[in-house]
């Protein structure tokens, strides 16, 4: 080809200049913004690997309760201590036995068993840790499910298909975090205020936190994250600029029972 | 030899005379009447009666709010009438198992594949819409064990 070095460099320079205006170059300079400006509409939140960071330095007991209340309200989680009809009131023992938990609190020694020392910081000792499904990378509940009612999505969310659940409770035995609850009773009489946009569950299925996958689909952050006033961070673990990675890079974090090899994806800043 | 037959000793004997009689006729007839009465008992009371054809009602606040030309379901009405159950199963499959919650109708409109929100958002009158045909055809879909209808909320004016 009849092109000398000078012409080649000219052409290369010109094409670099043109390339700067392209979508990929904009993406390089200001990630995410170009795509957002193009679409405009509320579009689903997607990630390569969803993860959550719970900042216990920021989270007080009151906010934790707000997070729990927000989740319960959005997902129609029954409160067995508070039935619609007073006649259906349960004893404390039954209430504890049939409890449905998506997100709940526990003290340090129950949250991080095996990691406890004889002498712990007074503050940590009294902390109520916010617990939820860890959406493990290697989820034992998925491995044991005989109907594939629970399965791992590509973005890391351990999803449940209630239509397929046969209520065998293998997953409850497999989960080392106690994140799964079984519907021993019809939950409907124990939901004071139902959210008609989300289904309730039926007697005989297992349920758990799903990282609000139905809210992510319409561009909303999980209910607990919204209610946490910044104490919970949710984002893409594979995106170095995400809120989650920012916190993980700046703080020492611990996870629940990492020695079991399930690779939990909820991180705690203590 | 027509009315003689060989007996077990090799000799021939007269055919024994059996009286032509229907034993226990009245008990048999009574039994038959009771049997057929039971078999047809579900049909008999409705015989000759005309049952009104189901008429699903489309007048909900959400639909009435739309302009006439926008009053179109996610698929054409004849398709919905015949295949809505298949569509719902496809939506369920796409949304939960494949994480694809977006549905684009043949007219190019985008919908969120969601029974509780999208379907019941417009058709908030379950008893006058869904139940009309389901009761007529005597089918009991198990959707409502978990999914909620918005009927009471809409009646109170509380729903969006």
Nearest-Cα distance to chain B for A186, in Å, is 10
Put simply, whether B101 touches A (Cβ < 8 Å) is: yes
C-alpha distances in Å from residue B21, one per residue of A166, B18, B26: 61, 9, 13
Tell me the pLDDT tens digit for each residue of B41-86.
Answer: 988 888 888 888 888 988 888 899 888 888 899 999 999 999 999 9
By the 8 A CB rule, do A109 and A116 touch? yes
Instruction: Give the pair of three-digit tokens for residue A113.
Output: 């068993």
Partner-chain contact A197 B112, CB within 8 Å? no
Question: Quick one: pLDDT band at residue B10, thresholds 50, 70, 90?
Answer: confident
Cα torsion through B43, B47, B52, B54, rounded to 10:
20
The rounded distance, in Å, linking the Cα atoms of A261 and A174 is 13
Partner-chain contact B146 A199, CB within 8 Å? yes
Instruction: Give the pair of three-digit tokens for residue A186.
Output: 């019809």
ipTM (interface predicted TM):
0.75
Partner-chain contact A44 B150, CB within 8 Å? no
Tell me the pLDDT tens digit for each residue of B97-109.
Answer: 988 888 999 998 9
Residue A199's closest chain B neighbor by CA? Answer: B147
> Which CATH number describes the domain made up of A50-269?
3.30.70.20
Question: Quick one: pLDDT band at residue A155, thresholds 50, 70, 90?
Answer: very high
The rounded distance, in Å, linking the Cα atoms of A215 and A212 is 5
Instruction: Give the pair of three-digit tokens for residue B23.
Output: 């034993």
Tell me the pLDDT tens digit for each residue of A6-16.
Answer: 888 888 888 77
Please list every residue in chain B whose beta carbon sits closer than 8 Å to the beta carbon of residue A219.
none
A48 vs B151, more confident: A48
What pairing do the DSSP bridges indicate for beta strands A50-55 and A266-269?
parallel
C-alpha distances in Å from residue A24, one per residue of A21, A30, A32: 8, 10, 11
Residues of chain A with CATH 3.30.70.20: 50-269
The rounded distance, in Å, linking the Cα atoms of A102 and A223 is 12
By the 8 A CB rule, do B100 and B159 touch? no
Instruction: Give the pair of three-digit tokens for residue A247.
Output: 């916190």
């Amino acid at each position: 080809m009849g092109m000398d070095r000078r012409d080649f460099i000219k052409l290369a320079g010109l094409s670099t200049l043109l390339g700067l205006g392209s979508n990929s170059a904009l993406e390089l300079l200001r990630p995410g913004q170009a795509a957002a400006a193009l679409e405009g509409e509320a579009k689903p939140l997607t990630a390569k690997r969803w993860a959550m960071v719970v900042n216990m330095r920021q989270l007080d007991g009151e906010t934790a309760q707000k997070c729990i209340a927000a989740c319960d309200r959005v997902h129609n989680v029954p409160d067995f201590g508070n039935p619609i009809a007073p006649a259906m009131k349960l004893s404390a023992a039954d209430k504890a036995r049939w409890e449905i938990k998506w997100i709940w609190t526990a003290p340090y020694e129950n949250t991080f068993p095996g990691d406890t020392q004889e002498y712990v910081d007074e503050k940590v000792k009294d902390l109520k840790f916010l617990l939820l499904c860890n959406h493990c990378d290697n989820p034992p509940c998925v491995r044991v499910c005989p109907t594939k009612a629970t399965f791992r999505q590509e973005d890391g969310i351990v999803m449940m298909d209630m239509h397929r659940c046969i209520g065998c409770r293998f997953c409850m035995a497999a989960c080392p975090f106690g994140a799964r609850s079984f519907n021993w009773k019809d939950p409907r009489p124990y939901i004071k205020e139902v959210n008609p946009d989300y289904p309730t569950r039926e007697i005989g299925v297992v349920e758990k936190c799903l990282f609000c996958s139905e809210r992510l689909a319409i561009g909303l952050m999980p209910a607990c994250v919204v209610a946490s006033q910044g104490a919970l961070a949710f984002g893409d673990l594979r995106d170095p600029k995400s809120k989650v990675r920012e916190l993980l890079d700046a703080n020492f974090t611990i996870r629940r029972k990492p020695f079991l090899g399930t690779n939990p994806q909820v991180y705690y800043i203590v | 030899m027509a009315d003689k037959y060989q007996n077990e000793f090799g000799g021939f004997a007269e055919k024994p005379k059996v009286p032509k009689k229907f034993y226990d006729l009245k008990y048999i007839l009574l039994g038959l009447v009771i049997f057929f009465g039971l078999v047809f008992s579900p049909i008999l009371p409705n015989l000759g009666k005309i049952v009104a054809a189901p008429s699903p009602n489309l007048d909900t606040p959400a639909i009435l709010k739309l302009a006439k030309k926008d009053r179109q379901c996610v698929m054409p009405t004849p398709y919905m009438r015949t295949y809505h159950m298949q569509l719902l199963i496809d939506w369920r499959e796409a949304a939960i198992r494949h994480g694809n919650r977006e549905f684009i109708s043949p007219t190019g409109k985008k919908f969120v594949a969601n029974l509780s929100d999208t379907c019941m958002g417009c058709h908030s009158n379950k008893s006058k819409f869904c139940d009309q045909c389901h009761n007529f055809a005597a089918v009991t879909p198990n959707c409502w064990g978990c999914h909620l209808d918005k009927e009471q909320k809409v009646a109170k004016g509380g729903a969006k």
